[in-house]
Amino acid sequence: MAETIKFGDVFKYKEKEYVYLVKTDEILYVAAILNKEDTSRVNTRYENLERNGKIDQYKDHPLYCFVMLTTEEFKDRMANFYRPGHDESNLNFGGILCSLNVRDLKDIKSEILKGPVPKELQELVKNINI
């Protein structure tokens, strides 16, 4: 029996981990879980922009649309929404590794609803109950 993947499930593809968000007939929406080095790099840039009062200039840049994860397996790593849409035929998951905790799910939903992501993704996520 095949696993049914749902919002907040984590899967691996080509040695990278992703959070499953939603899918349409053509597009699979995911958030990439960055490794600790990339997380640190993005977070440092974000903090520098914030500290220098320049973050407003970048608020619509998808690179800075992310959630710091609290789920034990991914602590100190971020789920990033830089490029959330993938052609479904190009990104197949091999199995669910785990599901994110409720706090992370709520934070991800909130970030999607207010962040610079595709409007279609926002529409698909807004009615998901956590």
| 16 found inside a domain | yes
How far, CA to CA in Å, does 4 sit from each of 9, 27, 35, 71? 10, 17, 26, 21
C-alpha–C-alpha distance, residues 42 and 49, integer Å:
11
The token pair at 41 is 């790099």
pTM score, two decimals? 0.86
Mean pLDDT of the chain: 88
Instruction: Give me the domain span that covers residue 96.
Output: 9-125
**Pair 116, 18: CB distance under 8 Å:** no
For 89, how many CA atoms within 13 A lie in the half-sphere containing its CB? 1
Does 1 fall in a domain? no
Percent of the chain with pLDDT over 90: 55
Task: Establish if 4 belongs to a structural domain.
Answer: no
- Residue 102 in domain: yes
pLDDT tens digit sequence for 30-63: 999 999 999 999 999 988 888 888 877 777 777 7
pLDDT digits (tens, 9 = 90+) for 84-112: 776 655 666 667 889 999 999 999 999 99
In a domain, 44, yes or no: yes
State yes or no: pLDDT of 2 exceeds 70: no
**How many folded domains does the chain comprise?**
1
